[in-house]
């Protein structure tokens, strides 16, 4: 992530407290898109459970939210660990109540040629980007159903990527995991939509976060670094505002598939 891009206020469009009374869970809340979204949801009135592995980062965010008058609870959890997610679900219910907004966002991008047989990287992406999302859904889909049954808004928002639909060299496994997410959301709507649970996928282009820091392939790293250098890429706050907007519109309105590109990102 570049040094000068920590402004989380530039994207703000919503005002007031349109999410007052909402109870949100954000995975991947320790950095990037998840961190910005958790903070923004809290600013707009939601109580927010913060989920990721880095406890220190979550605690800092919790402190910032509480200092600003919001409500948040840091729950360090590995979303690939189903038993740990059971414990997180139990804690969220006890401390914040029934969840009505889930942002399943934790993800990792590891780029390589398929013939390099980086099987650990394949597994890491499938375990987090697919199974981690399924574990998140498993933990809170009943809460969403219950909230909607009580006439409250209920949202499941999952972070996909433009990689879900574009052909990017060496992105095979990552793209495959995101294609799964995009199609999963379409299918979930057929079941959850009629129960008044909104389901959305958000597919960003280049966002300046820690995501490329994990990429070991030199070409892919250069591609991302060049894009960040050359164009005005998205900031996490831009995605955060979009997620907040999805949750703030009237309950009968489901913005289902949102692609967010930097205006100047041509590919
Ligand atoms: N940045 C982009 O250009 C871009 C574009 C399209 C889509 N996306 C998607 O956006 C999402 C967020 O990524 P980001 O760009 O904000 O990158 P990031 O800053 O690297 O954030 C990734 C988050 O996932 C968390 N995470 C990783 N492994 C985890 C695990 N096992 N359990 C729980 N949390 C875990 C990380 O926290 P811990 O390490 O503390 O666990 C971190 O909070 C991802 O799904 C990514 O694929 C990003």
Task: Provide the CATH number for the domain around residue 34.
Answer: 3.40.50.720
pLDDT, residue 122, reads 98
**Which position among 103, 122, 171, 174 bears the catalytic label?**
174
Q: What is the pLDDT of residue 219?
A: 82
Does residue 150 have a pLDDT over 60? yes
- Give the position, in ligand 1's atom list, of the atom nearest the Cα of 206: 3
Atom index in ligand 1 nearest the CA of residue 27 equals 34
What token pair was written down for 261? 């590109």
Q: Does residue 105 fall inside a structural domain?
A: yes
User: Does residue 197 lie in a domain region?
Assistant: yes
**pLDDT, tens digit (0-9, with 9 covering 90-100), for 14-26:** 999 999 999 999 9
Q: How far is CA 236 from CA 8, 34, 101, 207, in A?
A: 7, 8, 19, 6
Evaluate whether residue 267 is within a structural domain. no
Q: What pLDDT does 7 receive? A: 44
**pLDDT at residue 267 tops 50:** yes
What strands lie across the sheet with 257-260, from one edge to the other? 71-74, 47-51, 23-27, 101-104, 155-159, 198-204, 257-260
15 burial (CB, 10 Å; 0-12 / 13-18 / 19+) is exposed
The pTM of the full predicted model, rounded to 2 decimals, is 0.96
Q: What pLDDT is stored for residue 224 in this prediction?
A: 84
Q: Catalytic: 174?
A: yes
pLDDT at 36 (0 to 100): 98
Q: In a mutational test of the pocket of ligand 1, which residue from 8, 32, 78, 233 has the highest number of ligand atoms less than 8 Å from its CB?
A: 32
Tokens encoding 182: 């995009």
pLDDT of residue 138: 98
- Residue 5 placed within a domain: no
Report the nearest-CA residue for atom 20 of ligand 1: 211
Could you give the CA distance from residue 260 to residue 168 in angstroms, rounded to a whole number? 17
**Which residue bears the tokens 């697919």?**
130
CB 198 within 8 A of CB 246: yes
pLDDT class of 4 with cuts at 50, 70, 90: very low
Average confidence score pLDDT of the chain = 94
Residue 203 within any structural domain of the chain = yes
Cα separation, 182 vs 162, whole angstroms? 10
Q: Is residue 77 part of a domain?
A: yes
Domain-embedded: residue 53: yes
Tokens of 36: 């910005």
For residue 128, give every residue at least 6 positions away whose Cβ sits within 8 Å of its Cβ, in sequence order, or none. 79, 80, 106, 107, 108
Show the CA angle centred on residue 38, arms to residues 148 and 77, nearest 5°.
90
For residue 166 and ligand 1, the question of a CB distance below 6 A is answered with: no
For 134, the domain range is 23-260
CA dist 198 to 24, 102, 132, 260, Å? 14, 10, 20, 19
Dist CA 37 CA 18 (whole Å): 15
Within a domain: 1? no
**pLDDT score of 5 more than 60:** no
**Per-residue model confidence as pLDDT tens digits over 187-234:** 999 999 999 999 999 999 999 998 888 888 888 888 888 888 899 999
Number of domains present in the structure of the chain: 1
- Give the tens place of pLDDT for each residue, 246-261: 999 999 999 999 999 9
């Amino acid at each position: 992530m570049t040094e000068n891009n920590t402004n989380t206020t530039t994207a703000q469009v919503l005002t007031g407290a349109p999410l007052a009374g909402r109870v949100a869970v954000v995975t991947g809340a320790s950095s990037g898109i998840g961190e910005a979204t958790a903070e923004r949801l809290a600013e707009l009135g939601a109580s927010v459970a913060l989920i990721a592995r880095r406890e220190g980062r979550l605690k800092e965010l919790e402190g910032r939210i509480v200092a600003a008058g919001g409500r948040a609870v840091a729950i360090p959890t590995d979303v690939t660990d189903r038993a740990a997610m059971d414990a997180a679900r139990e804690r969220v219910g006890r401390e914040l109540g029934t969840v009505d907004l889930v942002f399943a966002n934790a993800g990792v991008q590891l780029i390589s040629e398929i013939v390099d047989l980086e099987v650990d990287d394949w597994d890491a992406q499938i375990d987090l980007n697919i199974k981690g999302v399924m574990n998140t859904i498993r933990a809170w889909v009943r809460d969403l159903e219950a909230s909607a049954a009580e006439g409250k808004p209920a949202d499941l928002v999952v972070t996909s990527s433009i990689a879900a639909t574009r052909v990017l060299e060496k992105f095979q496994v990552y793209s495959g995991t995101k294609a799964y997410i995009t199609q999963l959301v379409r299918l979930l709507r057929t079941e959850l939509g009629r129960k008044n649970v909104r389901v959305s996928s958000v597919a960003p282009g280049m966002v300046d976060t820690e995501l490329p820091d994990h990429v070991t392939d030199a070409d892919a790293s250069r591609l991302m670094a060049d894009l960040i250098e050359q164009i005005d890429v998205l900031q996490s706050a831009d995605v955060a505002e979009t997620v907040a907007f999805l949750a703030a519109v009237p309950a009968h309105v489901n913005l289902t598939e949102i692609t967010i590109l930097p205006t100047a990102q041509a590919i």
